[in-house]
């Protein structure tokens, strides 16, 4: 008990607030998108952007990622750990994935600077994960 | 077409063989474990070890990770990307999670050098993800 009021969870990990979670997500280039596809759990690394409280990414027709927006509920995990010390943080965004069709919205997302995934072929389209829950934890000591 | 026979997928990503996948997993300390818990998709960073073709990790009673071995089917994702170039690889292990009860097996797993997760309290127990499918991809050029 060191007297300050940083919230911790039952494991003693520091709980990150929403704003802090979004800042952390903006600071990394790759997240891991999880969804259920034909009864299988799929987890894929994806380049992402942050738009308000939502996470956005680009994909192409026929890819596994396309199924994410058909799957409905998805989870998007982000983290960064120091291999030497084991210290780091993780954030989990849960929500519903949906394709972006609005031209103005697409133009705005194009300005986010999200890297195209290797091997991605045109036409690319944008998918928005409308965040329903955002939770984050930080390991500040072992 | 450069004449060599490295297999690629429909996106042009290099396909990693099973042995290569397991080598890559051994080379990183943290993976992301995904499972369905009470209808929610959960993805958590987890320190892991490799035992044969299986991935193993430690957890404690009452944690979310405990539910992984009740959930049955889980997916364990591993990756490493260079932030500057975007090059890297990812491996996905799908399988069934089960608790390890055999004392000899536990003793062997203790020798793998898997780091305890921060905040983890005793008693810790081992969970084995019996790999049913292991797939890996590498991005060698943008």
Whether residue B1 is predicted with pLDDT greater than 50 in this model: the reply is no
Whether residue B2 is predicted with pLDDT greater than 80 in this model: the reply is no
Q: What are the pLDDT digits (tens) for B11-27?
A: 778 999 999 999 999 99
Cβ atoms of B94 and B73 within 8 Å: the answer is yes
| Residue A129 to residue A93: CA distance in whole angstroms | 8
Residues of A in contact with B57 (CB under 8 A): none
Q: What is the ipTM, given to two decimal places?
A: 0.86
Cβ atoms of B25 and B9 within 8 Å: the answer is no
What is the reported pLDDT for A2? 47
Q: Does B53 touch chain A (CB under 8 A)?
A: no
Q: Does B120 touch chain A (CB under 8 A)?
A: yes
Q: How far is A47 from chain B (nearest CA, A)?
A: 9
If you ran DSSP here, which 8-state letter would residue B8 be given?
Answer: B
Q: Under 8 Å CB-to-CB from A130, ≥6 apart: which residues?
A: A54, A95, A96, A97, A98
Nearest to B118 among A43, A77, A139 (CB): A139
What is the reported pLDDT for B117? 64
- Please measure the distance between the N-terminal and C-terminal CA atoms of chain A and give it in whole angstroms: 16
What percentage of residues in chain A have a pLDDT greater than 70?
Answer: 85
Q: What are the pLDDT digits (tens) for A41-81?
A: 999 999 999 999 999 998 876 666 777 777 688 999 999 99
Q: Does A113 touch chain B (CB under 8 A)?
A: no
pTM of the predicted model as reported, rounded to 2 decimal places:
0.88
């Amino acid at each position: 008990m060191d007297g300050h009021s940083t919230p911790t969870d039952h494991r003693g990990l520091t709980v990150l607030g929403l704003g802090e979670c979004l800042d952390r997500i903006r600071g990394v280039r790759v997240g891991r998108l999880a969804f259920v596809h034909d009864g299988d759990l799929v987890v894929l690394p994806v380049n992402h952007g942050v738009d308000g409280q939502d996470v956005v990414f680009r994909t192409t027709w026929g890819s596994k990622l396309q199924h994410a927006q058909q799957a409905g509920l998805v989870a998007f995990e982000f983290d960064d750990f120091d291999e030497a010390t084991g210290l780091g943080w993780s954030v989990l965004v849960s929500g519903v994935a949906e394709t972006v069709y609005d031209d103005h919205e697409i133009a705005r997302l194009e300005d986010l600077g999200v890297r195209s995934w290797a091997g991605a072929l045109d036409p690319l389209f944008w998918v928005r994960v409308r965040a329903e829950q955002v939770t984050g934890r930080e390991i500040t000591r072992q």
